[in-house]
């Protein structure tokens, strides 16, 4: 373990000041990811800034009907919040599909967005990894890549983003609120995470010194027809091989609106607007869903051990959309 100093802050401005301009200083919230990364010697902070005492622990109504989720509300408190359960059950279900009860009691909403990939080589400091050490190469390309990306990957990195919560947030068009040295700004969930390109060491578009203060949910929650389907090696305590957040608005048997996002398949939660457009105006049938699934996976590429994810993702999309359709019609 490397030595590091520890600072606890009580307001957002102090948190931003403590980190801005300091490349070896990191925030710590629930600590469920950053402490693991420190133990494995992947992240070596000189200083940790504890943000758990910041006043970002509330879930509040927004003007116009949405909800604001404080960055430091735990994943458990978010998933079990009455408003979230009733108005955004897709989000609640996605969060509860992740990790374990103990972890969800510690993990925060802000930390969930910033958790790092579970690529085995990223955690193994004896192997080359462009994300951990830019320019060293990618061990997964020709290695064991069963959990890796099939969409949006690059020759520099084929890692996936591991969050379940973010897949639902993407489908719900959530907005991330941040504060930094240059003031406040909003980033859509879609623009928050990045594809690897030739800079796989940069996971998100958050600038140095910026802190996530909240996540805003728009009013539309698709509470009547939704599904979060997570396919994984074990039914608990395992990351997604493929996950699907499906949300539909139905007018009789016709699809009036649709959202479709996938997890476990790319460096960021993956939304297919093309497939959503293909669904709208169509009858909610298996044939329609299969056509949408083909569109989502158009251009998908496996790297050997993960080839199975392509047909798996197609079947998962169809099943999630069928489940979402049947809700309320039983």
Ligand X SMILES: Cc1cc2nc3c(=O)[nH]c(=O)nc-3n(C[C@H](O)[C@H](O)[C@H](O)COP(=O)(O)OP(=O)(O)OC[C@H]3O[C@@H](n4cnc5c(N)ncnc54)[C@H](O)[C@@H]3O)c2cc1C
- Judged by the rule CB under 6 A, the positions of this chain that interact with ligand SF4 are 117, 119, 121-122, 129-131, 138-140, 157-159, 200
In whole angstroms, give the CA distance from residue 271 to residue 261.
4
If one asks whether residue 122 binds ligand X (CB under 6 A), the answer comes out as: no
Answer with the entry of ligand X, ligand SF4, none that 110 interacts with (C-beta below 5 to 8 A by kind).
Answer: ligand X
Question: Do 204 and 236 touch, CB atoms closer than 8 A?
Answer: no
Binding residue for ligand X, selected from 67, 147, 176, 211, defined by CB under 6 A:
211
In whole angstroms, give the CA distance from residue 99 to residue 324.
23
Residue 51 or 313 having the CB closest to ligand X: 51
* Cα–Cα separations (whole angstroms), residue 233 to 44, 147, 228, 230: 31, 10, 16, 10
Nearest to 189 by CA among 113, 90, 109, 111: 113
Q: What is the closest distance, in whole angstroms, from the C-beta atom of residue 178 to ligand SF4 in the complex? A: 24
Tokens of 34: 């950053």
Residue 172 or 279 having the CB closest to ligand X: 172
Residue 100 or 329 having the CB closest to ligand X: 100
In whole angstroms, give the CA distance from residue 135 to residue 148.
20
If one asks whether residue 152 binds ligand X (CB under 6 A), the answer comes out as: no
Binding residue for ligand X, selected from 73, 114, 153, 241, defined by CB under 6 A:
114
User: Residue 320's Cα: distance from chain center in Å?
Assistant: 18
Answer with the entry of ligand SF4, ligand X, none that 121 interacts with (C-beta below 5 to 8 A by kind).
Answer: ligand SF4
Residues 35-54 close enough to bind ligand X by CB under 6 A: 36, 51
Q: Which residues contact 126 (CB under 8 A, 6 or more apart)?
A: none
Answer with the entry of ligand X, ligand SF4, none that 71 interacts with (C-beta below 5 to 8 A by kind).
Answer: ligand X
If one asks whether residue 31 binds ligand X (CB under 6 A), the answer comes out as: yes
In whole angstroms, give the CA distance from residue 254 to residue 256.
6
In whole angstroms, give the CA distance from residue 255 to residue 113.
30
Residue numbers at the binding site for ligand X (CB under 6 A): 26-34, 36, 51, 71, 75, 98-99, 103, 106-108, 110-112, 114-115, 162-165, 211-212, 237, 239
């Amino acid at each position: 373990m490397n030595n590091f100093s520890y600072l606890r802050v009580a307001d957002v401005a102090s948190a931003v000041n403590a980190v801005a301009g300091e490349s070896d200083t990191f925030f710590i919230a629930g600590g469920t990811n950053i402490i693991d990364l420190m133990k494995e010697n992947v992240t070596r902070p000189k200083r940790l800034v504890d943000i758990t005492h910041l006043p970002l622990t509330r879930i509040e109504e927004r003007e116009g009907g949405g909800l604001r989720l404080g960055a430091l509300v735990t994943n458990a408190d978010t998933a079990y919040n009455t408003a979230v359960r009733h108005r955004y059950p897709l989000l609640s279900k996605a969060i509860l599909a992740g990790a374990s009860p103990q972890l969800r009691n510690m993990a925060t909403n802000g930390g969930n967005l910033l958790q790092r990939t579970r690529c085995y080589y990223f955690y193994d400091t004896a192997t080359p990894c462009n994300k951990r050490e830019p320019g060293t190469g990618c061990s997964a390309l020709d290695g064991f890549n069963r959990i890796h990306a099939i969409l949006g990957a690059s020759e520099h990195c084929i890692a996936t983003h591991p969050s379940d919560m973010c897949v639902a947030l993407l489908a719900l068009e959530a907005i991330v609120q941040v504060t930094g040295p240059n003031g406040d700004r909003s980033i859509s969930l879609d623009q928050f995470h990045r594809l690897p390109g030739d800079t796989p060491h940069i996971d998100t578009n958050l600038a140095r010194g910026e802190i996530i203060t909240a996540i805003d949910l728009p009013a539309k929650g698709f509470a009547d027809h939704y599904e979060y389907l997570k396919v994984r090696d074990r039914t608990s305590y395992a990351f997604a091989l493929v996950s699907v957040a499906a949300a539909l608005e139905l007018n009789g048997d016709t699809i009036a609106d649709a959202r479709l996002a996938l997890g476990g398949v790319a460096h960021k939660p993956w939304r297919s607007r093309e497939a959503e457009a293909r669904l709208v105006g169509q009858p909610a049938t298996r044939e329609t869903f299969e056509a949408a699934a083909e569109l989502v996976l158009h251009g998908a590429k496996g790297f050997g051990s993960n080839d199975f994810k392509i047909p798996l993702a197609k079947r998962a999309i169809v099943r999630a959309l069928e489940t979402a359709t049947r809700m309320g019609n039983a």
